[in-house]
A and B are shown apart, each in its own frame.
Chain A
């Protein structure tokens, strides 16, 4: 096929230094994407270790394994890392890798800006973690940030947060936030400008569509966090009073600004994973995606509504009844387009010839777990229910079902799906299935009991709990689940290393998929396509394989 490309292997005479140098100076969207994902996975391990340390401490009541100060740092760094240094870079990195290939382009719209964004992210991440060595803590010791990932005022004021660990938190996140913004701008420009001939917006694969909406949310939400962090920095460094209640400032303002960013951020983290599902589910059901335009419309609706629900994180604050009712109602409303998506995926699966390869296992796992987390989310949108369970382990369980059972499962599905494209080798299916099932069990063993401990009244972010409150068993189960998850991740790492060296060669299109990234070689050449492809429908490779039965794309029938 003419649109295929042929990768030339790197001359093996290159020294290690030259290879590293070629990655560092690269502006190729594929290499940058892989570096994003690589760093994201590295920080995933770090955040996982932090979580494991907390679960070890909470394995039994009254444990003395970890002192309260360290525990505070652990949950702060775990949350911050997972959101900003794992979710964002992996999802933006996958988009970096995939979007140009999927729309038949040779690179992103602004390749150098792309490299700039990656290195900003890495610099921000290092700045945050440097606090473990360099930040001055309470007693002259070094200290990581310990104010929680949403860093409420007045805890972040100079009085309650002396030293400069909080400043590292502010600056690290701010810098990596600039990186996210540049990448979002780049993605929007790429998607709008670089589509190959024939690819109208409604012939685009759904993943770029999800990334378009995600990127717009990044443009709107992240700057508000940046602004709020700038205010906090002014408060801490120059004696400003934004969040200083003694001088008439407002701690509530921080909450509003933070969650105006924080809630869309949840959708920034989950919409790309929806995008992975939109590619994986049709291919492994051997069916065209059910309700393409409905999916696009629901995504745009989610994007809009997600900007107007933030105060559901603040019900416990005592806002006015009108405010509470408004934000409860808007939160119920966002469940509608989200539900539509769930049903579109089910509609795609129904009547399909479903093939449970590892990517599809993760996709179905995502569906089940995300729906479950969504339902507890609707429960928490009921104001009195939230009053009862706010800041308890029930909430921790809820958002881990959404972000781990949802986003992280989606990411692993995507890694299994696109690994062959990026490396030219298949990941082991056998190990992949084991990985999925062990992770699935471990995940549920960890987080299902947290619903119970939360309902029994166990508050989050406290380093220990008392015996004889009926919490012991549930906490022990949660900790046991972590061991399973760790085992699963070791299996995954082994799978990656083993498959990179010995994996089955993938060929251009191992899954018989229909989108353009599968038209070129695996891995694709630096220039992606020898000839820029031309498409006549939303499934160009279907058209190539079935010239007499072309894909009925939306426009073809009006």
Chain B
């Protein structure tokens, strides 16, 4: 090819995994926003059945939230340990993350089972039930997906298959996990603060 006239300019090229994960986060945010908008739109429109203020119990949810949000911290520590090739610490912090996430899922299960057995609130009971179970459930689904990913990494790590060179992939999963935690803040504000 002919010699170029001008020197090559620096071309901006972000990391492809980061671009992918940011795009995924945009997509997920739009799905969540759709459900949050519906939730806000229907606050106070339930004509029958239990109302949020009667049945939503704050203290357990707050403990649950603290567990989930602190798992964001432990996953950061896990990634940092992997960066420095400290495999023991990496596995330890990852295990903490999975346990905290698991605690959150178990807490939600307890909350839901009380709502269904004691308060007789189902998705079909009224608009509160409809919007509550769908929004919180959508978030729960994302927590479960995150837990599956994290547990997979944990199992591979225990088998000695996760090396320092995989840090970028693990980091991308941690970005997703941070997103799931950040969404919980929005869901919590919508359901337990504004909606109540």
Residues from chain A with Cβ under 8 Å of B126 in the complex: 241, 247-248
The minimal Cβ–Cβ distance linking A117 to chain B, given in whole angstroms, is: 13
Q: How far is B6's CA from A247's CA once the two chains are assembled, in angstroms?
A: 68
Q: How far is B11's CA from A194's CA once the two chains are assembled, in angstroms?
A: 10
Identify which of A3, A110, A200 contacts B1 (C-beta below 8 A).
A3
Q: How far is B30's CA from A529's CA once the two chains are assembled, in angstroms?
A: 38
Q: How far is B11's CA from A188's CA once the two chains are assembled, in angstroms?
A: 16
Interface centre among B8, B34, B127 (most CB of A within 10 A): B34
Residues from chain B with Cβ under 8 Å of A231 in the complex: 34-35, 38, 134
- Which chain B residues numbered 23 to 47 have a C-beta less than 8 Å away from chain A? 23-24, 26-28, 30-31, 33-35, 38, 41-42, 45-47
Closest to A241 in B: B130
- Say yes or no for B13: interface residue by CB 8 A criterion: yes
A198:B9 contact, CB within 8 angstroms = yes
- Which chain B residues numbered 110 to 149 have a C-beta less than 8 Å away from chain A? 122-124, 126-127, 129-131, 134
The minimal Cβ–Cβ distance linking B24 to chain A, given in whole angstroms, is: 7
B1:A238 contact, CB within 8 angstroms = no
Closest to A188 in B: B23
Residues from chain B with Cβ under 8 Å of A3 in the complex: 1
A239:B42 contact, CB within 8 angstroms = no
The minimal Cβ–Cβ distance linking B41 to chain A, given in whole angstroms, is: 6
A109:B16 contact, CB within 8 angstroms = yes
B38:A533 contact, CB within 8 angstroms = no
A198:B23 contact, CB within 8 angstroms = no
B34:A227 contact, CB within 8 angstroms = yes
Q: How far is B16's CA from A140's CA once the two chains are assembled, in angstroms?
A: 51
Main secondary structure of the interface of A (DSSP, over half): helix
- Say yes or no for A555: interface residue by CB 8 A criterion: yes
Closest to A189 in B: B19
Residues from chain B with Cβ under 8 Å of A1 in the complex: 1
Residues from chain B with Cβ under 8 Å of A544 in the complex: 1-2
Identify which of B4, B9, B122 contacts A200 (C-beta below 8 A).
B9
- Say yes or no for A129: interface residue by CB 8 A criterion: no
User: Which of A13-21, A216-224, A273-281, A361-369 is found at the contact surface with chain B?
Assistant: A216-224
B124:A241 contact, CB within 8 angstroms = yes
The minimal Cβ–Cβ distance linking A307 to chain B, given in whole angstroms, is: 11
A223:B27 contact, CB within 8 angstroms = yes
Identify which of A181, A238, A536 contacts B6 (C-beta below 8 A).
A536
B23:A185 contact, CB within 8 angstroms = yes
- Say yes or no for A534: interface residue by CB 8 A criterion: yes
Interface centre among B20, B35, B42, B47 (most CB of A within 10 A): B20
Closest to B8 in A: A198
Identify which of B19, B35, B134 contacts A192 (C-beta below 8 A).
B19
A199:B11 contact, CB within 8 angstroms = yes
B8:A248 contact, CB within 8 angstroms = no
User: Which of A54-62, A249-257, A372-380 is found at the contact surface with chain B?
Assistant: A249-257
Q: How far is B122's CA from A555's CA once the two chains are assembled, in angstroms?
A: 61
A241:B2 contact, CB within 8 angstroms = no
- Say yes or no for B160: interface residue by CB 8 A criterion: no
Residues from chain A with Cβ under 8 Å of B20 in the complex: 109-110, 185, 189
Known: A188-B19, A188-B23, A195-B11. A257 touches B6 (CB 8 A): no
B34:A2 contact, CB within 8 angstroms = no
Interface range on chain A (Cβ under 8 Å from partner): 35 or more
- Say yes or no for B54: interface residue by CB 8 A criterion: no
Interface centre among A1, A2, A227 (most CB of B within 10 A): A227
A227:B130 contact, CB within 8 angstroms = no
A249:B42 contact, CB within 8 angstroms = yes
- Say yes or no for A234: interface residue by CB 8 A criterion: yes
- Say yes or no for B194: interface residue by CB 8 A criterion: no
A247:B127 contact, CB within 8 angstroms = yes
Q: How far is B38's CA from A234's CA once the two chains are assembled, in angstroms?
A: 13
The minimal Cβ–Cβ distance linking A262 to chain B, given in whole angstroms, is: 14
Known: A219-B26, A240-B134. A248 touches B5 (CB 8 A): no
Q: How far is B19's CA from A195's CA once the two chains are assembled, in angstroms?
A: 14
- Say yes or no for A473: interface residue by CB 8 A criterion: no
B134:A234 contact, CB within 8 angstroms = yes
Q: How far is B28's CA from A219's CA once the two chains are assembled, in angstroms?
A: 9
A219:B27 contact, CB within 8 angstroms = yes
Residues from chain B with Cβ under 8 Å of A226 in the complex: 31
Residues from chain A with Cβ under 8 Å of B9 in the complex: 198, 200, 555
B2:A543 contact, CB within 8 angstroms = yes
Q: How far is B134's CA from A533's CA once the two chains are assembled, in angstroms?
A: 50
- Say yes or no for B14: interface residue by CB 8 A criterion: yes
Closest to A556 in B: B6
A240:B1 contact, CB within 8 angstroms = no
Convert A193-219 into 0s and 1s, putting 1 for each residue whose CB lies closer than 8 angstroms to a CB of B: 111011111000000000000000001
Q: How far is B35's CA from A242's CA once the two chains are assembled, in angstroms?
A: 10
Identify which of A189, A221, A240, A253 contacts B23 (C-beta below 8 A).
A189
Identify which of B23, B46, B47, B130 contacts A242 (C-beta below 8 A).
B130
Convert B48-77 into 0s and 1s, putting 1 for each residue whose CB lies closer than 8 angstroms to a CB of A: 000000000000000000000000000000
Residues from chain A with Cβ under 8 Å of B2 in the complex: 543-544, 547
Residues from chain A with Cβ under 8 Å of B26 in the complex: 219-220
A198:B31 contact, CB within 8 angstroms = no
Q: How far is B66's CA from A60's CA once the two chains are assembled, in angstroms?
A: 69
Q: How far is B113's CA from A196's CA once the two chains are assembled, in angstroms?
A: 56
B11:A227 contact, CB within 8 angstroms = no
Q: How far is B164's CA from A331's CA once the two chains are assembled, in angstroms?
A: 53
The minimal Cβ–Cβ distance linking A103 to chain B, given in whole angstroms, is: 10
Q: How far is B2's CA from A543's CA once the two chains are assembled, in angstroms?
A: 8
Identify which of A188, A224, A240 contacts B123 (C-beta below 8 A).
A240
B31:A227 contact, CB within 8 angstroms = yes
Identify which of A188, A201, A257, A534 contacts B12 (C-beta below 8 A).
A201
Residues from chain A with Cβ under 8 Å of B127 in the complex: 241, 247-249
Identify which of A181, A192, A201, A250 contacts B41 (C-beta below 8 A).
A250
Closest 7 pairs (CB-CB, A-B): A239-B124, A227-B34, A223-B30, A536-B4, A240-B130, A248-B45, A185-B23
What are 24 A-B pairs with beta-carbon distances under 8 A?
A: A184-B23, A185-B27, A188-B23, A189-B16, A189-B20, A194-B16, A195-B13, A198-B4, A219-B30, A223-B28, A223-B30, A224-B30, A224-B34, A227-B30, A231-B34, A231-B35, A231-B134, A234-B130, A239-B124, A242-B38, A247-B126, A248-B42, A249-B127, A536-B4
Q: Report B's interface with A, CB cutoff 8 A.
A: 1-2, 4-6, 8-9, 11-16, 19-20, 23-24, 26-28, 30-31, 33-35, 38, 41-42, 45-47, 122-124, 126-127, 129-131, 134
Not counting A192-B14, A239-B122, A534-B1, a sample of 15 additional A-B residue pairs whose C-beta atoms are within 8 angstroms of each other reads A109-B16, A185-B27, A189-B23, A200-B11, A227-B30, A228-B34, A231-B35, A241-B126, A242-B130, A248-B42, A248-B45, A536-B4, A543-B2, A547-B2, A550-B6
